[in-house]
Amino acid sequence: MEIFFKKTEDAYIQSLKSTMNGSRKTIYPLLSTTEGINSWFPQLSFRDNELVFDLGNNEEEIMKVLETEQDKHISFTWDIGKVSITLNDSKGKTDIMIVSELPFEFSHIIRDFTGWQYQIQNLNHVYETGEILPLDTFDFEKVESEIDSLLKEI
Domain ranges of the chain: 2-153
Instruction: Give this prediction's pTM.
Output: 0.94
What percent helix, strand, coil does the chain show, rounded to 5?
Answer: 35, 40, 25
Q: What is the DSSP letter of 53?
A: E
Q: What is the mean pLDDT of residues 63-71?
A: 97
CATH homologous superfamily of domain 2-153? START domain (3.30.530.20)
Q: What's the average model confidence in pLDDT over 70-91?
A: 96
Rg (alpha carbons) of the chain, rounded to whole number = 15
**Secondary structure string (H, E, C) spanning 74-141:** EEEEECCEEEEEEEEEECCEEEEEEEEEEECCCCCHHHHHHHHHHHHHHHHHHHHHCCCCCHHHCCHH
pLDDT value, residue 21 = 95
For β-strands 81-90 and 44-47, DSSP reports them as: unpaired
pLDDT-derived band at 114 (thresholds 50, 70, 90) equals very high
